[in-house]
């Protein structure tokens, strides 16, 4: 800046003060409007960030890649093993809807949790690392208000990540393979619209499972200013949980593992739907969200922000 | 964020009553002990009058930033009380902080956003800001610090001076009654320092109380009406700049080609703290008159080329208050 420009700004008339005066009236409606503004700003920060955009692009590329591979190397019906991804792999060639399911199933083992780990691990620790946490808190954004806004942003991210995988999977499936009435895992065939409805329920279920992981992430994120450490810790939780879930000797703890119910969404692909499995899963997610949400809240309210 | 847990040890209601609610910043017994046991801030009683430009001075590590963090609610005091613009901190700072613009320990923004986007982010977090005027307010703040031309450049590409100015702009997003600026000139070249100083003058001229910390006295000396000096966690001086100036003992300075003889003569007269230099001698003047000393020297045939009484510079007093540092005098 030149001295000249400083002088000109120093000499500038102070603008009409009514613009700058603080509007102290706080109604629930204005509180909500202001909160919405912060929330939108939060979403902008996350979705405009080049790193996160690249991550979402990878998520979108995965179903495309899977679709192309299966198009040129088509497995026959029932080709895969009778559980896990194998349940879907043989169906893809018959019905493109299954590409969407297969993609979600495959990405749930690592890539989707990784993306949630990045966003939730970064949520508080990243701001602390940049120093923007102190900027936001002195505005003041409100500690609890900021945390809740960030968690809601994480939930939105979980839904958007799943929707991208399912949506691109469905699109690629419909381009590469026939689309029609859906043959369920239990053998019945339901109309396409019913199949899509079940797909949507699965997206919601998986998103909530990831949101539970996001709650663990944001809680860990309040303890440090090193976002990368939190991301690694979340992934350790995921991998450890998945390994323990595969060891039958510790079957007694399986229902308490955070990842145990992630893939039980196949219950929604049977007739009748085994709702008990679905409710168990949702209850598990809710418990994780409550416990780690409370931890995060307690932590953010007491924390000394020294960075 | 460190893992320091605040202990809710707070001073009595009597203490609270002692804190003048008319002051812009008032604190009593403000202390902060880190979990490591180190007492970072020790019994600090700030009194920042409204409308003043208060220079908060002290060497690096003397507890200035920790004090500022406490005032802004970022860290919790171990003990002590304070009021910010008359609001009791125990009641909560959320209602008063919108009236306070702050820059803490250097500018902190998102490197991947532009200057304008960064200010929009700050404004969006403010639950009392007027949404309708946001764009106009942001542009005006950018204009005030001379960043309008660089508003759409990414923060990453800003120079250090521009970053500091953007941080000040964040404080100018709305009318503030108090600006708390922590080392706003840190790391800037003389030109950047002058720019910030001129900005502070401008802010103060608008009637905003400015609380500005620095480890360099010279940087804030020209703009401050009041000073507080921190040393190893304690507030060792607080008052107007004039009071600080008046604090030093006057000395006599004699320019002479015979400094040793002059020193002897001064000793005979009874002056204390005589310091001999190559071509001059200084001593504490005390109750003696400079004219009498001059006459004594001339009578002793000591060539006097110049004689003046000097008050120690603010710099000298600052050093005296905060300690010499590492072997300054060799």
**CB–CB of B38/B4 below 8 Å?**
no
CB contact under 8 A, A302 and B76: yes
**CB–CB of A101/A94 below 8 Å?**
no
- The pLDDT, as a whole number, for residue A1 is 36
- The pLDDT, as a whole number, for residue B153 is 96
> What confidence tens digit (pLDDT) does each residue in A242-291 have?
999 999 999 999 999 999 999 888 889 888 888 999 999 999 999 999 99
Q: What is the mean pLDDT of residues A169-196?
A: 92
Distances (CA, A) of A130 to A40, A289, B149: 20, 27, 25
**Which range is least confidently modeled, A216-225, B147-156, B267-276?**
B267-276
**CB–CB of B267/B275 below 8 Å?**
no
Chain A: nearest CA to B66, how far in angstroms? 8
| Structure tokens belonging to residue A196 | 């899509």
Chain A: nearest CA to B232, how far in angstroms? 18
Q: Which of A22, A41, A132 has its CB closest to that of B98?
A: A22
Place of tokens 């969006």: B124
Total residue length of chain A: 307
- The pLDDT, as a whole number, for residue A92 is 84
- The pLDDT, as a whole number, for residue A298 is 97
The CA distance from B131 to B104, in Å, is 25
**CB–CB of A105/A85 below 8 Å?**
yes
- The pLDDT, as a whole number, for residue A185 is 84
List, in sequence order, every residue forming a beta bridge with B275; answer none if it has no partner. Answer: B282
- The pLDDT, as a whole number, for residue B18 is 66
Query: Helices A143-176 and A28-47 sit at what angle, rounded to 10 degrees?
Result: 50
The CA distance from A2 to A7, in Å, is 9
CB contact under 8 A, A1 and B195: yes
For residue A2, pLDDT beyond 60:
no
Q: What percent of chain B has pLDDT over 70?
A: 92
Distances (CA, A) of B112 to A57, A225, B123, B314: 19, 18, 17, 43
Would the ipTM clear 0.90, i.e. be above it?
no
Hey, of A2, A9, A148, A149, which one would you mutate to test binding to chain B, going by the most B CBs within 10 A of its CB?
A: A9
**CB–CB of A225/B1 below 8 Å?**
yes
Burial of B253 (0-12, 13-18, 19+ CB in 10 A): middle
CB contact under 8 A, A140 and B120: no
Long-range contacts, A183-190 (Cβ 8 Å, 24+): A183/A91, A183/A94, A183/A95, A184/A269, A184/A270, A184/A271, A185/A87, A185/A266, A185/A269, A185/A270, A186/A269, A186/A270, A186/A271, A188/A271, A190/A271
Nearest to A66 by CA among A95, A97, A94, A106: A106
Q: Which of A17, A134, A142 has its CB closest to that of B108?
A: A134
The CA distance from A267 to A206, in Å, is 12
The CA distance from A62 to A49, in Å, is 20
CB contact under 8 A, B195 and A49: no
Q: Is B35 or B211 the better-scoring residue by pLDDT?
A: B211
Nearest to B150 by CA among B106, B119, B104, B195: B119
User: From the CA atom positions of chain A, what is the Rg in Å?
Assistant: 23
Chain A CB within 8 Å of residue B139 CB:
no
Q: How far is CA B267 from the centre of its chain?
A: 39
In the stretch 121-140 of chain A, residues with CB closer than 8 A to chain B read: 124-125, 128, 130-140
Q: Is A11 or B258 the better-scoring residue by pLDDT?
A: B258
Place of tokens 């009071």: B243
**CB–CB of A22/B98 below 8 Å?**
yes
- The pLDDT, as a whole number, for residue B247 is 75
DSSP B299-319: HTT--EEEEEEEPPPHHHHHH
For residue A15, pLDDT beyond 70:
no
Nearest to B58 by CA among B50, B49, B67: B67
- The pLDDT, as a whole number, for residue B278 is 86
**CB–CB of B36/B63 below 8 Å?**
no
Nearest to B303 by CA among B271, B281, B325, B274: B281
Residues of B in contact with A6 (CB under 8 A): 146, 195, 198-199
For residue B312, pLDDT beyond 50:
yes
- The pLDDT, as a whole number, for residue A24 is 53
Q: Which residues contact A108 (CB under 8 A, 6 or more apart)?
A: A206, A262, A263
List, in sequence order, every residue forming a beta bridge with B39; answer none if it has no partner. Answer: B33
> What confidence tens digit (pLDDT) does each residue in B214-252 have?
988 877 788 999 999 999 999 999 999 888 877 777 888
The CA distance from B189 to B43, in Å, is 34
Strands (E), chain A: 182-183, 189-190
Distances (CA, A) of A200 to A101, A170, A205, A283: 10, 11, 9, 19
**CB–CB of B282/B327 below 8 Å?**
no
Place of tokens 């800037």: B188
| Structure tokens belonging to residue B18 | 């002692």
Nearest to A49 by CA among A110, A113, A127: A127
Q: Cα-flanking dihedrals φ and ψ of residue B134, to 5°?
A: -55, -50
Chain B: nearest CA to A236, how far in angstroms? 22
- The pLDDT, as a whole number, for residue B83 is 93
Chain A CB within 8 Å of residue B98 CB:
yes
- Taken in order of first residue, the domains within chain B and their CATH numbers are 13-245 (3.40.50.300), 251-310 (3.30.70.100)
CB contact under 8 A, B195 and A6: yes
> What confidence tens digit (pLDDT) does each residue in B146-205 have?
999 999 999 999 998 899 999 999 999 999 999 999 999 888 888 888 888 999 999 999
């Amino acid at each position: 800046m030149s001295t000249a420009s400083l002088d000109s700004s120093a000499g500038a008339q102070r603008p009409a003060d009514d613009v700058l005066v603080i509007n102290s009236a706080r109604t629930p409606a204005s509180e909500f409007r202001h909160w919405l503004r912060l929330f939108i700003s939060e979403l902008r920060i996350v979705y405009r960030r080049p790193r996160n955009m690249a991550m979402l692009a990878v998520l979108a590329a995965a179903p495309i890649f899977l679709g192309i591979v299966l198009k040129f190397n088509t497995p026959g019906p029932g080709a895969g093993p009778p559980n896990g991804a194998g349940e879907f792999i043989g169906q893809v060639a018959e019905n493109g809807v299954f590409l969407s399911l297969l993609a979600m199933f495959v990405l749930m083992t690592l890539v989707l949790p990784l993306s949630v780990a990045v966003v939730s691990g970064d949520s508080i620790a990243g701001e602390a690392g940049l120093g923007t946490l102190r900027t936001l808190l002195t505005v003041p954004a409100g500690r609890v208000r900021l945390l809740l806004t960030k968690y809601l942003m994480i939930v939105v991210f979980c839904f958007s990540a799943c929707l991208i995988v399912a949506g691109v999977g469905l699109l690629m499936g419909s381009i590469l393979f026939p689309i029609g009435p859906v043959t369920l895992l239990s053998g019945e065939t339901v109309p396409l619209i019913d199949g899509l409805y079940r797909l949507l329920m699965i997206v919601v279920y998986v998103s909530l499972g990831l949101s539970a992981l996001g709650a663990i992430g944001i809680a860990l994120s309040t303890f440090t200013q090193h976002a990368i450490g939190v991301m690694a810790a979340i992934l350790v939780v995921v991998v450890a949980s998945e390994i323990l879930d595969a060891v039958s000797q510790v079957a007694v703890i399986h229902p308490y593992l955070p990842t145990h119910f992630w893939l039980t969404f196949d219950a929604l692909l049977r007739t009748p739907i085994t709702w008990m499995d679905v409710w168990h899963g949702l209850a598990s997610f809710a418990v994780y969200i409550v416990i780690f949400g409370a931890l995060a809240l307690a932590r953010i309210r007491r924390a000394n922000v020294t960075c | 964020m460190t893992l320091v847990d605040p202990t809710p040890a707070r001073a009595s209601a009597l203490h609270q009553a002692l804190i003048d609610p008319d002051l812009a910043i008032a604190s009593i017994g403000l202390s902060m002990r880190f979990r490591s046991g180190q007492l970072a801030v020790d019994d600090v009683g700030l009194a920042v009058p409204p409308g003043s430009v208060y220079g908060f001075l002290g060497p690096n590590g003397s507890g200035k930033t920790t004090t500022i963090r406490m005032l802004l609610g970022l860290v919790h005091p171990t003990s002590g009380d304070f009021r910010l613009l008359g609001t009791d901190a125990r009641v909560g700072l959320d209602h008063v902080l919108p009236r306070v613009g702050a820059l803490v320990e250097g500018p902190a923004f998102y490197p991947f956003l532009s200057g304008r986007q960064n200010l929009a982010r700050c404004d969006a977090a403010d639950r009392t800001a007027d949404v309708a005027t946001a764009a106009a307010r942001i542009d005006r703040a950018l204009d005030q610090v001379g960043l309008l031309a660089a508003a759409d450049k990414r923060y990453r590409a800003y120079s250090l001076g521009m970053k500091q100015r953007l941080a000040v702009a964040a404080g100018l997003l709305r009318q503030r009654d108090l600006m708390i600026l922590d080392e706003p000139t840190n790391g800037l070249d003389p030109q950047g320092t002058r720019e910030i100083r001129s900005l502070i003058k401008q802010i103060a001229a608008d009637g905003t109380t400015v609380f500005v910390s620095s480890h360099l006295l010279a940087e804030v000396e020209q703009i401050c009406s009041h000073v507080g000096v921190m040393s190893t966690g304690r507030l060792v001086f607080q008052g107007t700049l004039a009071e600080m100036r008046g604090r030093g003992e006057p000395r006599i300075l004699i320019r002479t080609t015979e400094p040793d003889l002059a020193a002897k003569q001064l000793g005979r007269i009874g002056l204390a703290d005589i310091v001999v230099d190559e071509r001059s001698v200084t001593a504490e003047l005390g109750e003696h008159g400079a004219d009498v000393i001059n006459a004594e020297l001339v009578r002793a045939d000591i060539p006097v080329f110049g004689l003046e009484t000097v008050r120690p510079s603010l710099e000298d007093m600052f050093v005296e208050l905060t300690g010499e540092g590492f072997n300054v005098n060799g």
